[in-house]
Amino acid sequence: MIVTLIVLCEIAFWVLLAGGLALRYVAKKPRLGGAVLLCEPLLEVILLVVTAVDLKNGAAPDWKHGLAAVYIGFTVGLGHSTIRWADARVAHRFAGGPPPVRPPKYGMARAVHEWRVAGRWALAAVTALALLQGAVWYVGGDGDVASLRSWQQTMLFVIGINLVIAASYTVFPKRGPRRETKRVPGPPG
């Protein structure tokens, strides 16, 4: 049941996103579209409540409960940027908005961009870690929480990978293409 709900929440996320953006830009109802987009967090609240009720009713904590916590964490950390990303593209395509801003490709500007991305992923992973720890405490010492602990280790790995990527752009910044300088011929002779 939990996996089905996670899949339904993911589908509902994209349906609400498409509906909100369609209302905002195609139907020219920006306030209504914004209201639909604000309904996105309700999906995570529903998933959190159903997961807690499932555990409360005696379900053994397993990978599905961990996946629910991870899904909620990733929506918290990455959902807003995903909505912003889609909004910029739909505004450009259907409402004459400016072209979406592309991330910088080179130098410290790219490193700063990568640190922001790492920050969003870290927020997602820390949120999932907190929810997983809450589930561990909720289940108590009597239950088998190994699967929840495994998800926590995975979230620490996600944080580590993103920090390594961001640090690599800082320590080894990507250089832009070299510019050829024209040589002006000197006087003969």
128-169 per-position pLDDT tens digit: 999 999 988 988 777 788 889 999 999 999 999 999 999 999
Residue 139 included in any domain = yes
Residue 185 included in any domain = no
Residue 176 included in any domain = no
Total domains present in the chain: 1
pTM for the structure as a whole: 0.83
Task: Tell me the residue range of the domain where 95 lies.
Answer: 2-171
Residue 188 included in any domain = no
Residue 69 included in any domain = yes
Residue 108 included in any domain = yes
Residue 28 included in any domain = yes
Residue 80 included in any domain = yes
The DSSP annotation for 107-168 comes to HHHHHHHHHHHHHHHHHHHHHHHHHHHHHHHHH-TTS--HHHHHHHHHHHHHHHHHHHHHHH
* pLDDT bucket at 186, cuts 50 / 70 / 90: low
